[in-house]
Amino acid sequence: MKSRRDFIEQRVRAAREITYAELATEFDVSEMTIRRDVEALEASGVVRRVVGGAIALQGKDTEPSFATRMADAAQEKIHIADVVADLIGVNETLILDSGSTALAVANSLRGRGLGLTVVTPSVLAALALVDEPDTTVVLTGGELRSGELSLIGAAAEDTLANYNCDTYVMGVAGIDGERGISDYHQAESRVKRAASRRADRVIVAADKSKLGRVTFVSITTLASVAIIVSDGPPEHPALVAARDAGVEVICVSAHEDATAAGAP
């Protein structure tokens, strides 16, 4: 006879993503009971826990929804975004990626008076900056991806090929010492590669859940990245490998500690 965990595994695999509340209602048990079941399934490599629920793992991780990623490590992403925004200079030409962390960077850039020219495949990032004084926003064009509100396809890649930019802020799904930078979606990854070829420096912004992870589509090597900003520990193997490859690694917790120590 199948156990409750067997049924939960079946439900998550079918739906790809499910909440604790949904499972608790379906099985008429408490959310705490469901959390323990999901923790056991995660330990078995069947699912990955996210804020409020779980997603199925099928080979390389299944991409969580944009709403889930927005909620996951939300405060950490704000801290990362603030550090990234501090690295952007006045009057820079900036390619700003799609995704939840890049959107946090867009929000952090507001009110800084940097006079940027921002090229982005993200409708949400464009909307965040469109009314910013002295800021020019260029949308790439392309096919609008449902849920993400990102622009993909040949038109997006061709638009990026027309520009020479100072900085590209890239959001990623995985940073691994051996496999480098990776993401979930093939078309999104092609846009990321096109963007990285048109910028003098690439800044990768990634919360610690991305460290040591390898997802389906390879984007680039660690050595092609100039800076990684993360809230992960400095001794994480992925960050050690990045430093060994010549990447400047900024750990947000260490950055905040240094800032606090220097405060009057």
In angstroms, the CA 72 to CA 35 distance is 16
Q: Tokens for 26, please give them.
A: 């379906």
How open is the CA angle 116-94-91, to the nearest 5 degrees?
A: 30
Strand-pairing partners, residue 251, are 230
Single-letter amino acid code for the residue at 129: L
In angstroms, the CA 175 to CA 213 distance is 6
Q: Which residue has the higher pLDDT, 101 or 50?
A: 101
How open is the CA angle 137-147-174, to the nearest 5 degrees?
A: 85
**What are the tens digits of pLDDT across the range 150-194?**
999 999 999 999 999 999 999 999 999 999 999 988 899 999 999
| Domain coordinates in residue numbering, the chain | 4-58, 73-262
3-state secondary structure of 182: strand
Strand bridging mode 93-96 / 165-171? parallel
Tell me phi and psi for residue 176, to 5 degrees.
-130, 145
CATH of 73-262, one of 3.40.50.10490, 3.40.50.150, 3.40.50.1360, 3.40.50.300: 3.40.50.1360
Least confident of 2-16, 25-39, 80-94, 180-194: 2-16
Q: Which residue has the higher pLDDT, 142 or 4?
A: 142
pTM of the model: 0.75
What pLDDT, on the 0 to 100 scale, is given for residue 256? Answer: 53
Query: What is the assigned CATH class of domain 4-58?
Result: mainly alpha
Helix (H) or strand (E) holding 254: helix 252-262
Confidence of residue 264 (pLDDT cuts 50, 70, 90): very low
Residues 6+ apart with CB under 8 A from 184: 60, 61, 62, 63, 173, 215, 216, 217
What pLDDT, on the 0 to 100 scale, is given for residue 101? Answer: 93
